Amino acid sequence: MMQRVIRSAGLWAAAAVVLAMAGCGERPSQANAPTAATTQGGTVMIEKATFAMGCFWGSQGTFDKVPGVVHTEVGYEGGTTANPTYRDVCTDKTGHAEVVQVEFDPAKVSYPQLLTVFFENHDPTTLDSQGPDFGTQYRSAIFYHTPEQQKLAAAELVKRDNSGEYVGPLVTRIVPAATFYKAEEYHQEYFQKKGVDYVCHLGNGKKTQTH
């Protein structure tokens, strides 16, 4: 996927001002189980996948473009503080990661295909950072919802780590899905609301960049 990258420090500073001024307080969404959706062709099972890959604005924009993805939300997962706000998570003290929760139709896109999107669109070799963002909330992580997802994620991680394609070892964590707290509404579809097609990630950690 060819995407424009935010490279201007000025743009990042402006984004930081927007975040500092924005309000907080959305209630969390804690549903993690697969759900059924009714379409013209009948009822299909919609599965969930959850990924942490740095700034969740760009993560959501990336997965929204994937055919077979039916819905995405950004939020916080993997921490110890209940009902965290964005300001709480930004302290780097709650333990949460910024995540994108993806609902997808497995008949149209497979979990391994989503893993490919995940790994190819951020740098899994940088510990607790992506591009200009630093802190444990920006860690690379896969939150699996089923044993099958755990198995597939672990196999993909090992394959890529042994490929010799990356500048260093992969630091992606594979952990069980925990309580998902939906982020404040102004974070949802952030770039779409702004009318831009940016991504928050700089490179994918490979010796030869593919985009």
**Catalytic residue ranges:** 55
Token pair of 45 as six digits: 């099972």
Q: Residue 188: count other Cβ atoms within 10 Å of its Cβ.
A: 18
Burial of 199 (0-12, 13-18, 19+ CB in 10 A): buried
Please name the residue that has the structure tokens 């333990």.
Answer: 95
**In whole angstroms, what is the distance from residue 3 CA to residue 21 CA?**
28
**In whole angstroms, what is the distance from residue 191 CA to residue 189 CA?**
6
Question: Sign of dihedral through CA atoms 48, 66, 134, 189?
Answer: negative
**Per this entry, what is the length of the chain?**
211
Please name the residue that has the structure tokens 């209940």.
Answer: 82
Which of these, 20, 59, 66, lies nearest to 186 by C-alpha position?
20
Which of these, 12, 63, 32, lies nearest to 146 by C-alpha position?
32
